[in-house]
Structure 1
Amino acid sequence: MTTTLATTTKLATATKSRDLFLVANTVDELGGVTAWAHQMARLFQGNGHRVHVIGVHEAELKLVLPDDLGYPVTSLYREHPQTPRPARGLGRLNVVARRRESARVAAKRRTVDRLSELFRAARPGAVAIVTQVWPMEWIREADTAGLRIIGMSHESYAYTRACHRYRAVRRSYPSVDRWLALTQEDADDWIADGMHNVGAMPNALAHLPAVPSPRDRRVVCSIGRLADQKGVDMLVDTWALVAPQRPDWTLRIYGAGADEADLRRQCTRLGLDGSVEWRGRTSDVPGVLAESSLFVQSSRGEGFPLALMEAMASAVPCAAFDCAPGVREIVRHGEDGLLAPAGDIEALADRLLRLTGNPRLRDAMGERARMNVQRFSEARVLSRWEQLFELLER
């Protein structure tokens, strides 16, 4: 049984009902940003706003969603749209490339027109929350007259700075009404980089299980996509250092993704098949955590990871790479969890060995984690959103 924090803490009251658009890469992709978008859509709608969730395209690896969400959901494309390609070559190849690019441009124009129609139908004072960087390619061409635009990043400044999205942020976000990072540390980095419309907004903790994990099973769990960013390959290498000293413990890896086959081969090569269980996707995160005594996160980059908060809410202490400000904002090292320097496999193995070998430490950190993480309750975060909406209307 789970109970939402909103039921135990009075939610903020909206001073004005608004039309809110949440615009993301997809509306149905398996991943934390999609889960966050639908969590916030439910919160906003429950607080009296009219919500519409919009994605650029439909996802291939899908998140399990209820049949009736209670608010409209729109995917602008059935599949991932084509990317621009300059015409190269001579003769027939050049003609084919030009026709393909012409078709892409026409399809984008139709999509932008459809987006503009949705925006024009909104009541005065509407807000578009662009939850990821890529959709701004369509937002910038759409008719947004009368809308306030809030741009967001669900990854750290450092992670964005190191990839192609940095150029897109610098191109698209100086002109929006507010550019939100997930932590004040990330916001300060953006401000130091020359952005002047920056604020910070953490993710909200969705659920507080009625009964915390008893931490009585010798199980370490990981939950996340099996993709490079999540660093599951580094987790397997870490477990190769832990398993010989903790032969009675099991690592359960929950998730799906393109890297699964390679990761399973790595596990076999390291002789870990007897202590690692590949559990696939799960729609019962509280149930998974109830059967775990530790949570481990080995990501190369993060924003404000929901999985860490969910583990802490279940009183499951966490060991994680300190790969982003959001991680150290959630986990207070030495108090309610243990952090290791980003990418330091030996240090992460040390943290797991300390927690697996000391039940008193696990229990103390687990109980403190459950208490401390409630500072990110839905009620508190929703109140900050309402304050932001009011501020942008002044």
Structure 2
Amino acid sequence: MSRDVFIVSNSTDELGGVTAWTHQTARLFTEHGHRVHVIGVHASDRKMALPERPPYPVTALYPAHPPTPWAPCGLRDRFRVPARRREAARAAAQRQAVGRLSQLFAAARPRAVVLVTQVWAMEWVGQADTAGARVIGMSHESYAYSRASHRYRWIKNHYKDLDHWLVLTQEDADQWAGEGMNNVGFLPNALSRLPAQPSPRTARTVVSIGRLSDQKGIDLLLDAWALLAPHRPDWRLRVYGAGEDEDELKARCTALGLDGSVEWMGCTDDVDGALADASVFVQSSRGEGFPLALLEAMAAGLPCAAFDCAPGVREIVREGEDGLLAPAGDVAALADRLLRLTGNPRLRDAMGDRARSGVQRFSEPEVLRRWEELFALLER
């Protein structure tokens, strides 16, 4: 049954996993006959490479990140005329953006679905006219990571009255249900592709793929590599990604004496090629949801060493079977897992083969089937 599906995110082109998920899901829904419109609150400065002509419309409500709301603090602030004028202009621009959203939603066919991938975007969707549509909110991070941030309050405020909202694992859903969020369910991310051939796992290379930001824990990875490098002088760590912490991380790498064994690869449009040239994948995040990079690495036949930082990570990686998990933030333990994988080719091959086979349980057809079941349920 064809539906109009609006996928609304903070941005439609910002470098990161949510953007990758957004366009993967838009493509999947479009191929299944739905009419999809991808909407971002703003266009991003740090862009992800996207298909030149996606088979669905893509709209940004603002050309750049909108300004933060301003409120006077004390009597003196009330007389700051320039600040008050800027706030008035900001509020007017937001009303205009909300009006544009309402127009898009109003033009949809009956049974439309508005899928909001990030809670900040709900600031706009929540003010728009969504009459006649089902609104589904999402969180792409674990309960624990949201609980420790300002997004916890936003979720409690904005998601409790939606038709439905989704997290990525049963464990996270149970945590939110325990807080009285009775409209919560779960649905994992889908594996976007399975390379025709797995990595040969012959290169003495460990690879990391992700934003160079605090969440991804590349600083922790460098500390772990400093423990491993003296024992594996012929191995290299390749770090793919860009982000606000790039200069600081490179300085840390130099201070640790790792410039000879760490290669900064920047962003890549060829993830399959990056994985094919590696033998081990490492993920050092402080917090995650259901990481696509981990799915892709395992599909390439790479055994993974990762911090057990979220239910989604331990649902993807089956400890001791297709990868090795370390306690979240435990640098020495992560170094130990990497030492085991880099030092034992038979272990690498066995775990890599099982990873490639096992990760297919998150195939696109299976995840799409669950989406269709949810859409039908919300229409009852």
Q: Establish whether TM, by shorter chain, passes 0.5.
A: yes
* Alignment-mate amino acid for residue 82 of structure 1: P
| Cα displacement (A) at 1:140 | 1.0
The aligned runs of 1:1-394 (5 Å cut-off) are 16-88=1-73, 90=76, 94-394=80-380
TM-score (norm 1): 0.95
Cα shift readout 1:197-216 (whole Å, capped 9, x = no counterpart) = 01100000001001100000
The C-alpha deviation readout for 1:314-334, integer Å capped at 9, x for no partner, is: 100000000000000100000
Residues 1:43 and 1:92: Cα distance change in structure 2 (over 3 Å)? closer
Deviation (angstroms), 1:92:
8.9
**Structure 1, residues 58-109: CA drift from partner, whole Å, max 9, x if none?**
0010000121001000000011111111124538952122111111111111
Q: Distance in 1 between matches of 2:181 and 2:72?
A: 35
What secondary structure does 1:25 align onto?
A: strand
TM value normalised by structure 2: 0.99
Report the residue type matching 1:102 in the other structure. Answer: A
Q: 2-side partners of 1:98 and 1:87: how far apart?
A: 8
Structure 1 residue 163: Cα displacement: 0.4
- What do the CA deviations read for 1:95-135 (whole angstroms, capped 9, x no partner)? 12211111111111111000000000000000000000001
Unmatched runs of 5 consecutive residues or more in structure 2: none
> What RMSD, in angstroms, separates the aligned Cα atoms of the two structures?
0.9
**For residues 368 and 142 of structure 1, what CA distance do their matches in structure 2 show?**
47
Report sequence identity in percent.
69
CA distance in 2, matches of 1:91, 1:347: 51
CA distance in 1, matches of 2:212, 2:162: 34
Secondary structure, counterpart of 1:180 in structure 2? strand
Query: How far apart in 1 are the matches of 2:269 and 2:343?
Result: 30
Residue aligned with 1:209, SS? coil
Task: With a CA cutoff of 8 Å and minimum separation of 6, indicate the structure with the bigger relative contact order.
Answer: 1
* Amino acid of the structure 2 residue aligned with 1:167: R
- Match of 2:320, SS state, is coil
CA distances 1:306-360 after superposition (whole Å, capped 9, x unpaired): 0000000010000000000000010000000000000000000000000001000
Contact 2:72 2:78 in 1 (8 A): no
Q: Distance in 2 between matches of 1:310 and 1:350?
A: 23
